[in-house]
Structure 1
Amino acid sequence: MLGGLVLAVLLLLDGFANNIVGEAPRDARPVGSPGTVPAAVASGGPVVSLADGAPRSRRMPPKTIALTFDDGPDPEWTPRLLDVLRRHGARATFFTVGARVAEHPELTRRVLREGHEIGSHTYTHVDLAAVPRWRARLELDLTQRALAGAAGVHTRLMRMPYSSRPDGLTGPEWGAARRAGEDGYVVVLTDRDTEDWARPGTTGIVRAALAGERRDEGAVVMLHDSGGDRAGTVAAVEQIIRRLRPQGYRFTTLTEALDLPAAQVRVSAPERAFGWTLITAQRAASTLTGTMGLLLALAGIAYVLRLLALVLLAHVHVRRVRGRERRRGRRQRRRGGAHRPWPDGDPFVGGHEPGEMPPDPFPPVSVIVPAYNEEANIAATVASLLDTDYPGTVEVIVVDDGSTDRTALIVESIALPTVHLIRRRNGGKPSALNTGIGVARAEILVLVDGDTVFQRDTVRHLVAPFADPRVAAVSGNTKVANRGGILGRWQHIEYVIGFNLDRRMFDILRCMPTVPGAIGAFRRSVLAQVGGVPDDTLAEDTDLTMAVCRTGLRVVYEEKALAWTETPSSLRQLWRQRYRWCYGTMQAMWKHRRSVIEHGGSGRFGRRCLPYMMVFQVLLPLFAPAIDLFALYGLLFLDPTVPVLMWTAFVAAQAAAGAYALWLDGEPIRPLWTLPLQQFVYRQLMYLVVVQSVVTALLGARLGWHTIRRTGTLADFRGREQSEGPVGYT
């Protein structure tokens, strides 16, 4: 929250400094006049003072020229003008814009160091006649702060942007000038406005500057050292000095020419510190704005490339898996249609030489269900595990982890010899899983959450890949059961796009980071090799899968092994669940960080998976709120076309990938209508989860296990499935 506030303040400061936020266009001047311009001012000299309450005008002495430069300092043109003035021993007055002073404090110091003087030209070059009094005062005060921070001085001189000769003053302009004079400023207009901002060429600028040459008049000459190409101004200044100096003209500052007190006043240390803070903040804001623009572009490119890679690799995965299934079907038909889950001698699936006895196609399976206060769904979960078409033996082990509700009683009421209940004191999910693993009798272990429902063919599809001895674990396809409301639809889209597309890609790249707790299968021997289910992270499924990947064995994804799970039904519960997931995932990534530099299968996993997860699950989500805030800033204060087009393209790309992912899973695409809404609530929630998780990790805090309140959705879902038939993959 604090970071977002600081970012918003810096963006607004940069927008204000560049006259983007709070800009007052010149056509916004109020109609009418707050007062008539005094005749003494309109017909008087260009330097106006209200020191004693009454306006007094001063003119330059004969043959005295005050060259004045507006709108700087500029990193290109101000140094070139200073070089010209130094070569000729001339001094001038620079009316600086406070925001440019903050950007280039070293130029401000050089101006003063070389004997010139500085005046205020407001902080953002705003038209003082078109803004409220508070804004006008703020503009002048901020300019003084910037001068204090850059050079340790304040100034007594002020020139209003868009002003010119005294006889051209309007009523509103005089009102703004009078208020500045009452605040102690000497208001400077001009005798000769060269209008060099219009780029009339060197000759035109010189002609305007020398308008009174033949009468030996002194003059205040208005030029500009910023605002575009000032090559003509630089050349004109050279010519003006060379032409007038031989005639006895002198080029000096305003205050020296008029014998006024020096323009610069030294400031105290606290004022200088305050000014330095303003300069630092503005420069940081400017750097931040440029960086955010770059990050926005890079993030957009990264997300598009990621979506393209997901879709491409998902296509490869589908062709590979389904092509293998078609080959199996043809072989089975040639053999008379005998049902076997895999062919003899298949080099990818069979894992044995032709002529040898193939492994048992239907090995015994132990299903372990850790349960803590799962009375709402445990009956549906166990019933779905028992109602299976798997030909082999299936035992169901429910480990009641110290539940305080009726979970254990419900399981006890299922009087079947293949259902076993283990009661234990509460010790956490990893401990409960390890307890079940310890009593399980089968080599193939299926780990299932207590809020999950299997379809009749799920176990069979989940076990089939183990015919390949190189396969150590299988990730199933998790589906959202409670997808009725908009939050359920958002999670459904996330599961299909964000999880299952990812798993297809990880399967192809052989670097699967997570076998979900809702549906996964492992070889018992491999679990023993890695030390069982770890309990030192909050994402035990991710931690365990990474440990298995580091053995060099394969972890694969089986799209047909469907499991329906109950997801959080409120934003608060969703936050708690994802907070634990995110924090635990980062713990697991840190725990297995050495796999990046290891060799073999472990190194392949580390170098392919961990950088991907770091970029797309930590870094980009971490910076995404800032990128969103910058996009909102661009929408409100910059050209809205770019952020609107980028957002539209992003949503369209997500929708296209989502439609393809839903089609692969045999799901209707109707939920995609919620995708645009997801960008404004759900996505930001997930990003903030990452931010909080990173902050928690950096502070070294220990996050506890957050339980989710169950609503019993799966009991109703199980009833619908039995009456309507299997739902999901077709």
Structure 2
Amino acid sequence: MSRHVARRDPRAHWLLLGLGLAVLLAALTLNGYVTGLGGGSGRAGSDVPAGPAAAAVTGGGPVLRLDGDRPVARTMPARTIALTFDDGPDPVWTPRILDALRRNHAHATFFVVGARVNEHPELVRRILAEGHELGSHTYTHADLARLPGWRQDLELDLTSKAISAATGRRETLLRPPYSSVPSALTADDVTALRRSGRIAVLADLDTRDWERPGVPAIVRGATPAGARGAVVLMHDGGGNRAETVAALDRLLPALRDRGYRFSTVSEGLGTAPATVPAPAGARLGGLALRSVQLGAAAIARVMTVLLTIALVLGLARLAVQLVCARVHLRQVRRRRALDARVGLPVSVIVPAYNEAANIAATVRSLVTSAYPRLEVIVVDDGSTDGTADLVERLRLPGVRVIRQANAGKPAALNTGARYARGRLLILVDGDTVFQPDTIHHLVQGFADPAVGAISGNTKVANRRRLLGRWQHLEYVIGFNLDRRMYDVLGCMPTIPGAIGAFRREVFHGVGGVPTDTLAEDTDLTMAVLRAGSRVVYEERAIAWTEAPGSLRQLWRQRYRWCYGTMQAMWKHRRTVRSGGPAGKLGRRALPYLAVFQVGLPLVAPAVDVYAVYGLVFLPGSQLAAAWFGLLALQALTAGYALHLDRERYGPLWSLPFQQVVYRQLMYLVVVQSVVTALLGNRLRWHRMVRTGEAAALIAPGPAPRP
């Protein structure tokens, strides 16, 4: 219904959006994989034990080579202690443990987690610089024996890359997580160690310091019997290690007094150094890995912040809506107590383009109105389905038909306004049906001379199908709760095209219906506020309208609404510096629209990706509690909104399904609209195909109810 020039809609942005969401999901998945780190010596995964390992492995020393035909197990020489620390590097406890070792002139071996190496590479460099040695503790502290072969290789390869990027060297030692002494090894453990190709370092003495049993218990657990040498298992990460630090300051002097020396594993056994120079490819790969990991962590933090902000804003919006709804109820009671019985002449203007399915019911509902001083002007905008002829054949009193060449809905409304004789103008869509008392209730607010326009209450007539129920809930919950809030705050940005009333002088004073935006109803309402007039909401003025009956039609309608609303917001952006009603529009309504109609929907697809990530990496009980909690809050809000509109609660059953399909469609509409606006494309009018369901539901009774 317009002469807007149509261009081909951009399509590449959908590919970019899909790629962006895929990258986001991959980043979140990586972060979930990395941050799912354990600690301590408790066995991960299933409690079902595997078969025992060979006696040659379980009965030997803690340092194992399994790459030959026969396993080789070695023990530390007498009076030699190899202190080993797992689960680091930790930004708090690793430096304190290094300080304790330096105070006591001792060296140790640190088995580091690759993901934590990427987070704190400076600590790994310090470990080597102070004469200690490094070994692998896998990338995510994963139980190797319970992983498939490809995952075992990945855990070790990523750890090597992380160490290579941080230090320029590669490790040859491995301590598998959740391991302790050789006697606890299973056949699966041995298979995983053999596959690794590394020297496995277990322990003679497990201090179980991760349980925090107290400093004396840790000291006893680390003290060998007699003059035996030992590999001692301790931790520098995975939790609070204050007891471990204190135990070192007691253990090391005491054992030194007994003639013990403290060395790295390799030094104590007299073997080659535990690290070798890393090739350039490994260093570059490690640097890339670190960048990806840190980037994924940053994205996860940003998503957490965005989700928190969205939740806080959503709850704040709901609180404001509910408070304003209560205030609006009190205001409405005062208005009705002062009902002045406005009876000014009214002209109802109905723009019509191919509205044969509904126009008869629309016009009949108008002329049977209980309001006495009324004329109806139907402006046929070049219809090709006989709309004008149909109205003329009705021969209804007080109804005029004006024909014009197709020029668009705004032009049709302006044509009707030029012919109108009433002091008040009511603009009605060609698929809308009024109740007998609708016009009376709609115009009573004009008793206040400061009121320049009044919004009615639009209801969905074709709500028998699921899509109709969803739109019905949207109208009642979103649109009408918002209108009550806008009314209280004095910043109503939109009078719906289906039902709105204007003072004649205000309408012509702002230049009539604007033709340079697609949301002409929003543009016109904002212009009225800019002119200094108030815009209010009358919930009793009910209009039944036919909502889109298919997802394709809904998309086209909402695409036009969203794009047109953004046009109107940009057009009236300078009202932020104005006073009076215009200032309330600029400082209240426009920021609200920018946040809740544009901003949050734009980030909503990313939030949905975060929800998918949560299904995999977050505790299911917490996720379910959050989802059902929000759903219950929405249901309570919807129930209250339905109560305010005196509607049945039956459609509430469709609310959970609305969150899965309908909500995503509305978000994608905003994405498409923003892209169209940024690229400067002009959007043509999309006319909805009428089915006549509204007319069938309303006609022929004079007081229609669905």
TM-score by length of 1: 0.86
Match of 1:147 in 2: 163
Change in Cα spacing, 1:428 to 1:63, as seen in structure 2 (3 Å) is: farther
1:289-328 equivalence runs, <5 A? 289-328=300-339
1:306-455 equivalence runs, <5 A? 306-328=317-339, 341-342=341-342, 361-363=343-345, 365-400=346-381, 402-415=382-395, 418-455=398-435
Give 1:477 deviation, angstroms: 0.8
Is 2:524 the partner of 1:506? no
Whether the 8 Å contact between 1:398 and 1:411 is mirrored in structure 2 is no
Distance in 2 (alpha carbons) for counterparts of 1:702 and 1:147: 55
Match of 1:189 in 2: 202
Give 1:394 deviation, angstroms: 1.2
Match of 1:59 in 2: 75
Change in Cα spacing, 1:579 to 1:115, as seen in structure 2 (3 Å) is: farther
Whether the 8 Å contact between 2:109 and 2:132 is mirrored in structure 1 is yes
Change in Cα spacing, 1:602 to 1:19, as seen in structure 2 (3 Å) is: same
265-274 or 227-236, which deviates more? 265-274
Is 2:532 the partner of 1:560? no
SS of match in other structure, 1:536: coil
Residue-by-residue CA offset, 1:123-149 (whole Å, 9 max, x unaligned): 221222222222222221222233344
Is 2:17 the partner of 1:6? no
Match of 2:567 in 1: 587
Instruction: Tell me the percent identity.
Output: 58
Give 1:171 deviation, angstroms: 2.0
Residue-by-residue CA offset, 1:606-664 (whole Å, 9 max, x unaligned): 21212222232233333334444444544554333433333333333333333333233
Match of 2:46 in 1: 28
Change in Cα spacing, 1:695 to 1:64, as seen in structure 2 (3 Å) is: farther
2:666 to 686, 689, 698: 686
Distance in 2 (alpha carbons) for counterparts of 1:423 and 1:101: 77
Change in Cα spacing, 1:250 to 1:671, as seen in structure 2 (3 Å) is: same
Distance in 1 (alpha carbons) for counterparts of 2:375 and 2:93: 83
Give 1:294 deviation, angstroms: 5.0
Distance in 2 (alpha carbons) for counterparts of 1:20 and 1:407: 69
Give 1:180 deviation, angstroms: 1.4
Distance in 2 (alpha carbons) for counterparts of 1:292 and 1:315: 34
Change in Cα spacing, 1:421 to 1:16, as seen in structure 2 (3 Å) is: same
Is 2:585 the partner of 1:572? no
Whether the 8 Å contact between 1:300 and 1:650 is mirrored in structure 2 is no
Root mean square deviation, CA, Å: 2.9
TM-score by length of 2: 0.89
SS of match in other structure, 2:373: coil
Distance in 2 (alpha carbons) for counterparts of 1:582 and 1:642: 35
For 1:59, the aligned partner's letter is T
SS of match in other structure, 2:111: strand
Match of 2:643 in 1: 663
Distance in 1 (alpha carbons) for counterparts of 2:162 and 2:681: 42
Residue-by-residue CA offset, 1:30-89 (whole Å, 9 max, x unaligned): 6553x84251x3343322224555432333345443221101111110111122233444
Please, which runs of 5 or more residues in structure 1 have no aligned partner? 329-339, 343-360
Is 2:140 the partner of 1:124? yes
Is 2:237 the partner of 1:226? yes
69-78 or 316-325, which deviates more? 316-325
Match of 1:547 in 2: 527
Give 1:226 deviation, angstroms: 1.1
Residue-by-residue CA offset, 1:210-251 (whole Å, 9 max, x unaligned): 315x42x44322210012221121122233333344666543
Whether the 8 Å contact between 2:111 and 2:174 is mirrored in structure 1 is yes
SS of match in other structure, 1:123: coil
Give 1:540 deviation, angstroms: 1.7
242-251 or 672-681, which deviates more? 242-251
SS of match in other structure, 2:588: helix
Change in Cα spacing, 1:503 to 1:6, as seen in structure 2 (3 Å) is: same
Distance in 1 (alpha carbons) for counterparts of 2:281 and 2:582: 58
1:189-208 equivalence runs, <5 A? 189-208=202-221
Change in Cα spacing, 1:239 to 1:704, as seen in structure 2 (3 Å) is: farther
Distance in 2 (alpha carbons) for counterparts of 1:71 and 1:570: 56
Distance in 1 (alpha carbons) for counterparts of 2:567 and 2:130: 59
Give 1:539 deviation, angstroms: 1.6
Whether the 8 Å contact between 2:82 and 2:109 is mirrored in structure 1 is yes
Match of 2:503 in 1: 523
SS of match in other structure, 2:496: coil
Change in Cα spacing, 1:25 to 1:70, as seen in structure 2 (3 Å) is: closer
Residue-by-residue CA offset, 1:384-415 (whole Å, 9 max, x unaligned): 22332221141313141x43433344344445
For 2:88, the aligned partner's letter is G
Is 2:173 the partner of 1:157? yes
Match of 2:90 in 1: 74
For 1:383, the aligned partner's letter is R
SS of match in other structure, 1:456: coil
Whether the 8 Å contact between 1:25 and 1:130 is mirrored in structure 2 is no
Change in Cα spacing, 1:265 to 1:570, as seen in structure 2 (3 Å) is: farther
Give 1:205 deviation, angstroms: 2.2
Change in Cα spacing, 1:50 to 1:27, as seen in structure 2 (3 Å) is: closer
1:572-651 equivalence runs, <5 A? 572-631=552-611, 633-634=613-614, 637-651=617-631
Distance in 2 (alpha carbons) for counterparts of 1:466 and 1:653: 37
Distance in 2 (alpha carbons) for counterparts of 1:153 and 1:366: 86
Give 1:26 deviation, angstroms: 3.3
155-164 or 3-12, which deviates more? 3-12
Match of 1:470 in 2: 450
Change in Cα spacing, 1:149 to 1:454, as seen in structure 2 (3 Å) is: farther
Please, which runs of 5 or more residues in structure 2 have no aligned partner? 1-17
Higher RCO structure, 1 or 2 (CA under 8 Å, sep 6+)? 2
Distance in 1 (alpha carbons) for counterparts of 2:447 and 2:329: 19
277-286 or 705-714, which deviates more? 277-286
422-431 or 503-512, which deviates more? 422-431
Is 2:176 the partner of 1:176? no
Change in Cα spacing, 1:560 to 1:240, as seen in structure 2 (3 Å) is: same
Give 1:484 deviation, angstroms: 0.9
Change in Cα spacing, 1:457 to 1:234, as seen in structure 2 (3 Å) is: same
Change in Cα spacing, 1:162 to 1:31, as seen in structure 2 (3 Å) is: closer
Is 2:266 the partner of 1:255? yes
Distance in 1 (alpha carbons) for counterparts of 2:37 and 2:464: 45
Distance in 1 (alpha carbons) for counterparts of 2:701 and 2:666: 31
Give 1:268 deviation, angstroms: 4.7
Change in Cα spacing, 1:540 to 1:198, as seen in structure 2 (3 Å) is: same
Match of 1:536 in 2: 516
Is 2:700 the partner of 1:726? no
Distance in 2 (alpha carbons) for counterparts of 1:581 and 1:151: 58
Change in Cα spacing, 1:660 to 1:243, as seen in structure 2 (3 Å) is: closer
Match of 2:14 in 1: none
Change in Cα spacing, 1:30 to 1:312, as seen in structure 2 (3 Å) is: closer
Distance in 2 (alpha carbons) for counterparts of 1:25 and 1:712: 67
Distance in 1 (alpha carbons) for counterparts of 2:43 and 2:467: 45
For 1:136, the aligned partner's letter is Q
Whether the 8 Å contact between 1:382 and 1:396 is mirrored in structure 2 is no
Whether the 8 Å contact between 1:119 and 1:159 is mirrored in structure 2 is yes
SS of match in other structure, 1:397: strand
Whether the 8 Å contact between 1:206 and 1:240 is mirrored in structure 2 is yes
Residue-by-residue CA offset, 1:114-168 (whole Å, 9 max, x unaligned): 3332211112212222222222222212222333444444322111112222333
Whether the 8 Å contact between 1:93 and 1:119 is mirrored in structure 2 is yes
Distance in 1 (alpha carbons) for counterparts of 2:163 and 2:682: 48
